[in-house]
Amino acid sequence: MSTQPLIGQSVSRLEGHLKVTGKAKYAGDYITSGLLYGYIVNSTITKGKIIAIHTEEAKALTGVIEVFSHENKPSLAWLDLKYADMDAPPGTVFKPLHNGDILYNGQPIALVVAETFELARYAASLVKIDYEEEHFETNLKNNLDKARAPKVGLATLLKPLPPKPVGDFEKAFNQSYAQVEAEYCHGTEHHNPLELFATTTIYEKDGKLTIYDKTQGTVNCQVYVANVFGLSFKDVRVISPYVGGAFGSGLRPQYQLFFSVLAALQLKRSVKVVLERHQMFTFGHRPPTIQYTRFGADKNGKVNALNHSAFAETSQFEDYTEVVVNWSHMLYPAENTLMEYKLVSLDVYSPLDMRAPGGSTGIHAIESSMDELAYKLNIDPLELRLINYADKDVSVDRPYSSKELKECYLKGAEKFGWANRNPQPRSMKRGNKLIGYGMATGIWEANRLPARAEVAFTKQGKLQVKSAVTDIGTGTLTVISQIAADELGLLLGDVNFSYGDSKMPFAPIQGGSFTIASVGTAVREACKALRKKLLKKAQKMEGSAFANASMDDVVFREGSMYRKDDPSIFVKLTTVIDANKGRPVKTTNFAVPNVFKLKKYSRATHSAAFVEVEVDEELGVVNVTRALTVVAAGRIINPKTARSQILGGMVWSISKALREETISDFNLGKYMNPNLAEYHIPVHADIHELDVMFVEEKEEILNELGIKGVGEIGLVAMPPAIANAIYHATGKRINQFPIHLEALL
């Protein structure tokens, strides 16, 4: 048996075979006898009231069971708090079917339930709505005069508001040797995971509900359903073992969950509701954001003035916020700063966290401004960042818990060949293609939330691990299994991790790159407690060689407990279970971070991205020919799954910089390309040579495992690096994402 630690090994995903062979069942794949199908009717106006709903023609079809709307909905919770969830921003949570008011285009207003999906969809087309329309506003840029400060709520704990001004920015900027100022525009983006938003609610004989849902938080949805429908928590079970991509779209309960449960409870039947692709564009999005930067530096390149202002869209009913402008002062220790973040309430659905929310938006403006400053100073862009390297977070006057960003810069530049770059724009060519090199810095918060885990060692020699956490495709199942196996000195095959089920011990929503730091720590602590219990059981065995042993005297490996001072003395863990009358030895741990300790430090993951682009001089077509992302993220549990996360972020970076945008018609107040034919994302032909490196970083503050998350950091640095490379290639600075080829002609 191998004794090599599993942590640090590139282990393939344990569920990978099930996924590639189609055996993994997703929320919409579950079938039960008598299953009904629901199809949601969405509003075709942007703002107003429903005057009448005509359902007669739809209900006359054989096989149509019912049409639910605000006119015949059951009694539901009326307190706003009952509709809130773990990711709800300040404001009044949207309540489906609350009344006849229309708050945004595409609002769900009715549910047709029928014996087949096709029949439900057809019947939905026969439902006619009479509206009274009202004036609406959906254009961010035209409403900047209505911008205001966001409301403060619990979300502010994880999404801090901008820091207060430092020094005298205006004076420092006006006296700066070099100055840059620019406007940056980001359009709307929508989550487009491969798996459609789906819920299958199984109505049990005793009135309990088993719900298969596409979610990033089983407990979050369980609490939401119980609160809204007045059910006992123990009567609601939410299961989500496989998630076909989410990117933040499952952080809040999606509205098909509400409709599926409502119909199941009213009809006392099992009901499945799956949104079609175009309907997924009516639930959450990355908000359009307009940013303004003014950066100043002295003649030696030292940044002395930072101003970053952002104006973002939110709905009329919630104040969705992002951390957009805080990052610059965390990275660059200027003595004079002015940060501003404001919201504009529009007639749209609330924006929703999307991979690296705020970070991928703000870092573009910051890092493109730094690149422009480098050219004005005639200093290499990498050298400018080294000149302004911060060993501590001056924005809050705290040290970093760990920071190896400088190593990311140096190792990345060497591997990429940054020294081969001719600094002059339009100076590098390959045939009729202009070649450009660009680089940028990435930063993302490293957080940890409370989580609970249960572990049990069985007479079969297996370690059972349980947590309600989901695995949204990031490798959570595999990584948690590696952590648990190492703690008990077991083979990976001896660990059975049960997850994605609200009946399991509590786990927070899976997002923000904090899952392994939170749940992994809980599992580790539970395993440590289990080792103590196993030792106590072994001490009580007749003639035990461990009678006087302490935890420091023993080591667990190969399914046994050994004496450190004499490895020939050992006892199999299964023997300990036998002595316990065959009963499993188990323990539960609730791991809560030491907030007072964490508050003394700034905690962040860092990266450096290096990009080469080819730009067709005649057509303006941009190709990202190669890119490298170097990451400092503490201890890497599984280099293979971590690398996959960074690669995914790099592919999305190409999408964000060059392809991806949801186009709005402000006269209609609606999105015009809610499909994958016209919502452009990269295909295989767009992706070329991508590489990932991790640098060693010792993290001792955030958790005892020494880990930080890697889900978001792969996305934040590369989009501005692409924009900077395009400037180097063409001499044109384009500050609007995505960058269209006509802007380069």
Active site residues: 712
What angle (nearest 5°) sits at the alpha carbon of residue 246, between those of residues 11 and 115? Answer: 115
- 744 contacts: CB under 8 Å, gap ≥ 6: 615, 620, 622, 726, 730, 732, 734
Check: CB of residue 231 under 8 Å from CB of residue 208. Answer: no
Check: CB of residue 475 under 8 Å from CB of residue 641. Answer: yes
Tell me which long-range contacts 659-662 makes (C-beta under 8 A, separation of at least 24). Answer: 659/686, 659/738, 660/189, 660/738, 661/187, 661/188, 661/189, 661/737, 661/738, 662/187, 662/188, 662/189, 662/190, 662/281, 662/285
Please give the full DSSP string across 325-391, using - where no structure is assigned: SSHHHHHS--SEEEEEEEEEE-SSPPP---SSTTHHHHHHHHHHHHHHHHHHHT--HHHHHHHT--S
Q: How far is CA 488 from the centre of its chain?
A: 31
Question: Could you give the count of Cα atoms lying within 13 Å of 476 in the half-sphere of its Cβ?
Answer: 33
Q: What are the residue ranges of helices labelled H in 433-520? A: 476-488, 515
Place of tokens 């935890």: 551
- 373 contacts: CB under 8 Å, gap ≥ 6: 178, 180, 295, 297, 303, 384
End-to-end CA gap in the chain: 63
E-assigned strands of 55-205? 64-69, 101-102, 108-114, 128-133, 178-186, 198-203
Backbone phi, psi, residue 667, to 5°: -75, -30
